[in-house]
């Protein structure tokens, strides 16, 4: 009898030990889960806070300037009398930068991605890719300085009528800066296309070029588009290069040789200047920032739509 009791006690002790262990584990799991949730929420809260600031300050601005005048006006002179708050010149400035930088970054980035992913020898790829990615690590102020001191004089040799500050010079620098984004992302998505698909196409007697544009690029399409959109968003948001090299004269023009101002360039100008807090000029900064936010957001939504619409799953 006694012996059996001792045995049972031992068994119970073991059992409660195991139970306690499980309980401790569960508490730990809960703590970790809540901790992770907390960190996740921080970034959400920051985004919300930024949006609220932008929104509330913009509302104050739009109490003075009708939103329609802001969006359709062709004169932007917040710092002179008479003040005009038509944002189109800033949009056209940003637009110029986006167009001309994309003309550089998208073809060069995509074509070199195709080369590296499909044609280059392994050894070449191992050296070239990191070297190009270094371009992404150069601070944009360096690019801005480079644009002003190297690209601009060169442009003015070819086009003597170009201003010292001009959109083209800044665009070239922004374009070069965004090449690695297009390249890296497109190359990754092409490399991710399973080799079995390439083999399937080769086995049908397709040439290398046919395999690349018929199978690899369509299969990697969503990643490629994402890389374009990322480069464009970066060009829209790029600030240092355009503030340095593109000038600060808001102008409704499509001539890249002229001095312009972008939305971001204007924000820099206002932030640095001696503009009175709470004045309408200061509030205009938030309206422009709000517009920038909306444009970038729509770019993201657009890219998501395109990616879902055209993606080929594998």
Partner 1 sequence: MKVKMQIRDLNFYYGDFKALMDINMDIERKKVTALIGPSGCGKSTFIRTLNRMNDLIENTKVEGEILLDGEDIYSKKIEVEELRKKVGMVFQKPNPFPKSIYENIVYGPKRHGIRNKKQLDEIVEKSLRGAALWDEVKDRLNKSAWELSGGQQQRLCIARAIAMEPEVILMDEPTSALDPIATSKIENLIETLKKDYTIVIVTHSMQQAARISDNTAFFLMGELVEFGPTSTIFTTPKDQRTEDYITGRFG
What is the per-residue binding string for partner 1 in 184-223, x denoting contact by CB under 8 A?
A: ----------x-xxxxxxxxxxxx--x---xx--xx----
| Residue 2: alpha-carbon gap to chain centroid | 76
How does DSSP assign 207-237, residue by residue? -HHHHIIIIIHHHTHHHHHHHHHHHHHHHHH
Closest CB to partner 1 among 218 and 237? 218
Query: What residues between 94 and 153 interact with partner 1 by CB under 8 A?
Result: 121-122
CB of 209 to partner 1, least distance (A): 11
Residue 59 or 204: the one with the smaller Cβ distance to partner 1 is 204
CA distances from 87 to 14, 235, 266, 277 (A): 75, 18, 11, 21
Question: Which residue, 170 or 201, is less far from partner 1 as judged by CB?
Answer: 201
Residues 6 or more apart in contact with residue 167 via CB below 8 angstroms: 93, 96, 97, 100, 246, 247, 255, 256, 257, 258, 259, 260
CB 250 within 8 A of CB 260: yes
**Least CB distance to partner 1 at residue 106 (A):** 24
**Which among 250, 248, 286, 251 is positioned nearest to 64, based on CA atoms?**
286
Note whether 274 binds partner 1 by CB under 8 A. Answer: no
Q: What distances in angstroms separate CA 60 from CA 50, 91, 154, 289, one per listed residue?
A: 16, 21, 45, 14
Residue 220: CB minimum distance to partner 1, A: 10
* Cβ pair 299, 233 in contact under 8 A: yes
Q: Rule CB under 8 A: choose which of 51, 159, 310, 314 binds partner 1.
A: 314
By the 10 Å C-beta count (0-12 exposed, 13-18 middle, 19+ buried), 158 is classed as exposed
Is residue 281 packed enough to be buried (19+ CB in 10 Å), middle (13-18) or exposed (0-12)?
Answer: middle
Rounded least distance, CB 206 to partner 1, Å: 5
Smallest gap from residue 25 Cβ to partner 1 (A): 39
> Do the Cβ atoms of 151 and 172 come closer than 8 Å?
yes
Is 313 among the residues that bind partner 1 (CB under 8 A)? yes
In the complex with partner 1, which residue's Cβ is closer, 121 or 157?
121
Beta carbon nearer to partner 1, 217 or 242: 217
**Beta carbon of residue 221, minimum distance to partner 1 (angstroms, whole number):** 10
Q: Which is nearer to partner 1, 60 or 206 (CB)?
A: 206
Non-local CB neighbours of 295 within 8 Å, separated by 6+ positions: 236
- CB nearer to partner 1: pick between 106 and 211: 211
> Residue 122 burial (CB < 10 Å; 0-12/13-18/19+)?
exposed
For the CB of residue 306, give the shortest distance to partner 1 in the complex, in Å: 16
Segment interacting with partner 1 (CB under 8 A) among 168-176, 224-232, 234-242, 306-314 = 306-314
Nearer to partner 1, 114 or 201 (CB): 201
- Closest distance between partner 1 and the C-beta of residue 122, in Å? 7
Residues that bind partner 1 (CB under 8 A): 121-122, 194, 196-207, 210, 214-215, 218-219, 312-314
């Amino acid at each position: 009898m006694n012996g059996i009791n001792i045995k049972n006690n031992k068994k119970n002790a073991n059992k409660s030990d195991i139970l306690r262990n499980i309980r401790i584990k569960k508490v730990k799991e809960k703590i970790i889960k809540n901790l992770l949730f907390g960190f996740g929420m921080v970034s959400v809260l920051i985004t919300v806070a930024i949006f609220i600031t932008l929104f509330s300050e913009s509302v104050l601005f739009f109490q003075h300037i009708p939103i329609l005048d802001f969006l359709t006006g062709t004169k932007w002179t917040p710092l002179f009398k008479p003040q005009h708050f038509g944002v189109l010149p800033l949009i056209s400035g940003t637009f110029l930068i986006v167009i001309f930088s994309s003309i550089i970054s998208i073809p060069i980035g995509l074509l070199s991605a195709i080369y590296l992913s499909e044609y280059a020898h392994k050894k070449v790829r191992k050296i070239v890719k990191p070297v190009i990615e270094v371009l992404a690590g150069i601070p944009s102020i360096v690019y801005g300085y480079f644009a002003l001191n190297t690209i601009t004089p060169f442009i003015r040799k070819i086009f003597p009528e170009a201003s010292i500050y001009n959109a083209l010079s800044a665009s070239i620098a922004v374009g070069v800066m965004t090449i690695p984004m297009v390249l890296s992302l497109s190359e990754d998505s092409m490399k991710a296309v399973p080799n079995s698909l390439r083999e399937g196409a080769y086995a049908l007697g397709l040439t290398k070029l046919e395999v690349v544009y018929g199978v690899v690029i369509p299969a990697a399409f969503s990643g490629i588009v994402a890389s374009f959109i990322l480069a464009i968003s970066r060009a829209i948001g790029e600030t240092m290069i355009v503030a340095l090299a593109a000038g600060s004269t808001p102008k409704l023009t499509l001539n890249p040789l002229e001095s312009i101002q972008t939305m971001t360039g204007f924000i820099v100008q206002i932030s640095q200047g001696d503009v009175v807090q709470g004045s309408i000029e200061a509030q205009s900064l938030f309206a422009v920032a709000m517009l920038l936010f909306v444009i970038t957001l729509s770019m993201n939504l657009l890219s998501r739509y395109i990616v879902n619409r055209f993606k080929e799953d594998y």
